[in-house]
Structure 1
């Protein structure tokens, strides 16, 4: 009775699994879009391997489909599957839909042919055991009648599963020949798993290409906006410079026009640093102070210009050693001597202490020249 209860659940699992594997195998051999994508993969591989022993391949192994993601492009986050998806989008956009047409592959990858075969063989063995038990003489007739009817239906269904397994074996050999694989080592479940992963990666590559395209468009828009902003800023700076230059020129023109209207101011007749010929310079008392009893150098700093038509009368320099040095611009020497002698006489009369002989000797040539006079 337990077998009768478990049989329904076993059949609900075995039948869909076998059927999905059969349908998946048929899709691989009949789906033209999938085959076109594989052809594009072969072309891309031949282009990359140009000049080598693999540069003229006529097909691609299923195991090679797993390595397509390892072939990276110079653009970040892009590999050979992305390139194939881009080419398919440019040339034949309908090829991008082939993963949706092979959705049964996901179900086919959940089990293996060996696992299905073992479960079917286990059911068949249990059926044989039950049949032997109901043939025993001590088995109730009512139970025999129920189990005999069940065994007939179950054995017929299990026989159908056995036929499906045989069909799967035939499908395995056909697919091995279709993909140019070794029949002895080729496995359906491995084939379905590889193709299913390829479909998922291809579908993901299509989505990433679309997202990258949107990002590139947004980046292009931002770059154009930055360029426009920089151009606008440069234009504003140029306009400001022109406006400032025009303001300066306008102010200069206005200033010139104002001077013309108001009349140019008269320039000074002489510079501040120059003295007019008829100017009278007043000497201070400190300039006329003489130091009595000392041969200090007494210089007449400033004088009175009596006549502007005559040369300036300036006092000569008296050096401490008594030598009289005349300047080139001075008056004749005779007038200098007379003026000096008069100044010295006046100084001697005003001095309080008398001049000693020792001090007089220190004057030297000045005293002798006075004596000669």
Structure 2
């Protein structure tokens, strides 16, 4: 037995009658949702199918009381459902586009019909071409029975636009007119950059000499092995030079090549200045250039059916043919450049070669800067060592400073005052005279009355010791209070 046939889906519920009980002129606020199209519900099971049991009725008076429009509201401002003619997202995006353009809808439609795209620019026209309605939306727009003025602005614009004959092709032509010259100019600039880069690589003698230097160093390193005695090497191997480390910290084979190039001829390290277009060419994809030219050719072919495109097409096709000729000439030059460097000719081989040489040039220049800093540090170390050696030799030649009797003997014979309480011996001793009498003692052994004897005068210089002793003998007399002799 076959599977039972499912029961037919019941028809959708009839539309609700207009709300009753409203006073004349009263309106309810709208709910701006995105309705599901009827064709997606009708004839299939879905969540929107009528429920098996009837729902309780709504409290319509409460609903009307809560959502009644205030008095004085202008009628006709209630927008129609957004998805009645266009998809909701497309309608929103189209509304944003119209606000950014800031031109009346009728003017935009007339400009598209007459082929005027300068007021908008390629970017805005391309954005509009992406917002064109689908086939189902076009059918609904053209079947709209009422006046377009009753529709929201995005739907009204699309209704007027779809009435223009071949509106999609006209809009594509406007986009092509605005994009063609800048795009073709950029493509021809890429072709010229690739051609200039190939010529620079062929003519840079400094690069050729450095490559020979690397070949000689590599053959010396690989002598006796399978890679020794090489006649040349693939230029991609230049990126492996830093992998060959030197015994000195921070040095590798790339530093050695920079050092040798500076020793042989310092101008060899300036070869990156002669490769001005190589870095730019390394970021160009030859295949993309050719694909874009083919795309422009196809777009011109698609616009030949429009009579308004005839003047533009004649000039554009001539420019496109010139670009094709430039591309073919560049491809022949690229093949010669690759053959010159013994590289395989393939699509995108020249930009890849430019990328390798550009990275090598940057790395070699950085290695030369490292070598310069290393040499400066070495010179500073040698200078410090020389200064330390000079200070050491000066200190060893200087006499040591000492103190004691020997130093005193070496002191100059200048008069020095004797210390208090100590009388230095005179240089020439004279025979001692009679000792001065001691002063008379007082009663009970106390010192005699009267003024105390004067203290001895300060010490005299060493040359006047004899005179000083004579004066002291004359000053010393009998004791005070005793009769003179």
Report the TM-score range of the alignment, normalised by the length of the smaller protein.
Answer: 0.5 to 0.7
Go from structure 1 to structure 2 and tell me whether the alpha carbon gap of 1:224 and 1:199 turns closer, same or farther (over 3 Å shift).
Answer: same
Cα displacement (A) at 1:113? 0.3
Go from structure 1 to structure 2 and tell me whether the alpha carbon gap of 1:43 and 1:249 turns closer, same or farther (over 3 Å shift).
Answer: same
Correspondence for 1:25 among 198, 203, 223: 198
Correspondence for 2:300 among 108, 123, 127: 127
Correspondence for 1:98 among 271, 279, 293: 271
Aligned partners of 1:186, 1:111: CA distance in 2, in Å? 9
2:316 equivalent in structure 1: 154
1:220-269 Cα distance to aligned partner (Å, 9 max, x none) = 22222233333344444xx21xx439x66566899xxx99x99xxxxxxx
Aligned partners of 2:284, 2:347: CA distance in 1, in Å? 18
What secondary structure, in the 3-state scheme, does the structure 1 residue paired with 2:303 have?
helix
Q: Is the 2:287–2:348 Cα contact (8 Å) retained in structure 1? A: no
Q: Is the 2:285–2:348 Cα contact (8 Å) retained in structure 1? A: no
Q: Does residue 1:37 correspond to 2:210, yes or no?
A: yes
Correspondence for 1:215 among 366, 371, 377: 377
Q: Is the 1:33–1:98 Cα contact (8 Å) retained in structure 2? A: yes
2:68 equivalent in structure 1: none
1:80 equivalent in structure 2: 253
2:239 equivalent in structure 1: 66
Larger relative contact order, structure 1 or 2 (CA cutoff 8 Å, min sep 6): 1
1:172 equivalent in structure 2: 334
Go from structure 1 to structure 2 and tell me whether the alpha carbon gap of 1:235 and 1:29 turns closer, same or farther (over 3 Å shift).
Answer: same
Aligned partners of 2:347, 2:188: CA distance in 1, in Å? 25
RMSD: 2.7
Q: Larger C-alpha radius of gyration, 1 or 2? A: 1
**1:6-25 paired onto structure 2 within 5 Å:** 6-25=179-198
Q: Is the 2:191–2:327 Cα contact (8 Å) retained in structure 1? A: yes
Q: Is the 2:279–2:358 Cα contact (8 Å) retained in structure 1? A: yes
Go from structure 1 to structure 2 and tell me whether the alpha carbon gap of 1:48 and 1:186 turns closer, same or farther (over 3 Å shift).
Answer: farther
Select the structure that is richer in helix. Answer: 1
Correspondence for 2:402 among 225, 244, 250: 244
Correspondence for 2:343 among 170, 174, 181: 181
1:227 equivalent in structure 2: 389
Residues matched between the structures, number: 243
Go from structure 1 to structure 2 and tell me whether the alpha carbon gap of 1:104 and 1:80 turns closer, same or farther (over 3 Å shift).
Answer: same
Cα displacement (A) at 1:201? 1.0
What secondary structure, in the 3-state scheme, does the structure 2 residue paired with 1:57 have?
coil
Aligned partners of 1:130, 1:253: CA distance in 2, in Å? 117
Q: Normalization by structure 2: what TM-score?
A: 0.46
Go from structure 1 to structure 2 and tell me whether the alpha carbon gap of 1:230 and 1:184 turns closer, same or farther (over 3 Å shift).
Answer: same
Aligned partners of 2:182, 2:348: CA distance in 1, in Å? 30
Cα displacement (A) at 1:157? 1.8
Cα displacement (A) at 1:85? 1.5
Q: Normalization by structure 1: what TM-score?
A: 0.59
1:199 equivalent in structure 2: 361
